[in-house]
Amino acid sequence: MKPFKQKNFVIALWVFLALLISGFSFSDPQKLKEEIRKEIKAELEKIIEKTPSARLRAQWRAKRDEAKKSLDQGLLFGAPKFCPKDWDQAVELFNRSKRYAAKRSYRKAIYLSKKAIEYSTKAKNCAKTHLDKRTKKLLKEYSSLRENMDDIRALVPPGAEELFIKASNISLAIEDLKTAINMRDFDQADDMVKKLEKRLKKLKNEIIQYRKEHQGENGEEGL
């Protein structure tokens, strides 16, 4: 008898004896057949899990999950946008790893998963550096706009209600800029900076014009 058939026979015999000892009822042959089939399948799976191929498959699955997690983290930092070269390489390596695993070439699949982790981590760090630099630049521009706004608002003459409302609206828009920065909506933030600079310049000119037109009223002096 061949080793594999002999092993199956031993398993089947073991299952049969176990069922007999446990007092299993043989009144339903079909049910007995199903129970034996499940027990044999479970035992075979245990045997298969101990084979070198199964161990390699388990190692690949662990590396696959690690690579997937690394790619997910890269997405959160915008790696595809800010560091596309390393990101594309990571994705290609990850996909190749899955293709080799489908062919049961687990050693190659494990190696490719490790390389995918390497490149995705590199892309994530690259993107993080880019985000940190851009955030720092925009926060500096926000602080400058905030300071200019406070200085200009202090120039609004008493009674110039329309100018005061405009200054208040611009002040709120500057805080919207900070929100956009915190949300990493950098393209929108860049656009907001340009528009706010123009609005502040226009408001300052309107204040100057107003003070000229109302010079001498209520002790008001020009700039």
Query: Per-residue pLDDT tens for 136-183?
Result: 999 999 999 999 999 999 999 988 899 999 999 999 999 999 999 999
Contact in structure between 194 and 209 (CB atoms under 8 Å): no
Question: What span, in angstroms and rounded, lies between the C-alpha atoms of 84 and 4?
Answer: 51
pLDDT at 202 over 50: yes
To 5 degrees, how large is the angle CA 116–CA 121–CA 123? 95
What is the predicted pLDDT for the residue at 14?
56
Contact in structure between 197 and 189 (CB atoms under 8 Å): no
Total-model pTM: 0.61
What is the predicted pLDDT for the residue at 2?
47
What is the predicted pLDDT for the residue at 213?
85
What percent of the chain stands above pLDDT 90? 61
* Cα separations in angstroms, 52 against 59, 104, 112, 177, 187: 11, 12, 19, 58, 52
Mean pLDDT, rounded, for 104-111: 93
Contact in structure between 124 and 175 (CB atoms under 8 Å): no
